[in-house]
Amino acid sequence: MHSSVNKHVLKMKDRKVIGEGRGRIVFHHGKRHVMKIAKNAYGRRSNKTEVYLYEHCPASIRKYLGRIFEYGKGWVVMKKYTRKFPNHSKKYRQKLYRIKCKFKRYGILPFEIYSARYKTPNLSNLRLNRKGRIKVIDFGNFHIMRR
């Protein structure tokens, strides 16, 4: 692990781990936030992608991204969304398809909102906010197409 990552992980050692992927560890960070800490270069790139997209994309698609509150070298603090995506709902699957198309119209390839193998919604990366709007909580693997 990168030395600055070790510092962040040590500070978070009393926090509950929500999840862990190939490049990041996600911790509870208070009642309403999570902190994503990069474990390696892949995780740092995912954090940078999330911050860049959140700050530079149009508001019409930012509303579907998990809200980022602050960030630094190797870490991102994001709003915590706890309502699960209702995979059984045809209405929500249709909404997700329209959201995917909207991202593509803006030149953003939304990888990992659908599972590559089964072409079904990737439930680990999707949540709903309190108003029922779909939120993508892991968009570090989205790709920006060059125009």
Q: What is the pTM of this model?
A: 0.89
Query: Would you say residue 12 has pLDDT above 90?
Result: no
How far apart CA 124 and CA 97 sit, in angstroms, is 17
The whole-number average pLDDT for the span 102-118 is: 90
The pLDDT, as a whole number, for residue 115 is 85
The pLDDT, as a whole number, for residue 5 is 54
Cβ neighbour number for residue 56 with a 10 Å cutoff = 9
Question: What pLDDT, in 10s, does the model give residues 121-136?
Answer: 999 999 999 999 999 9
Sign, CA dihedral 7-13-15-20, equals positive
Which residue has tokens 């939304």?
110
Cβ neighbour number for residue 47 with a 10 Å cutoff = 23
Question: What pLDDT, in 10s, does the model give residues 75-87?
Answer: 999 999 999 999 9
CA-to-CA dists, residue 103 to 15, 53, 62, 71, 136, angstroms:
34, 11, 10, 23, 12
The pLDDT, as a whole number, for residue 18 is 92
- Closest by CA position to 5, among listed 31, 40, 34, 35: 40
- The DSSP letter of residue 10 is H
Pick the range with the lowest mean pLDDT from 22-26, 62-66, 111-115. Answer: 111-115
- Residue 10's pLDDT band, with cuts at 50, 70 and 90, is low
Instruction: Provide the pairing of β-strand 143-144 with 108-109.
Output: antiparallel
Question: What pLDDT, in 10s, does the model give residues 92-107?
Answer: 999 999 999 999 999 9
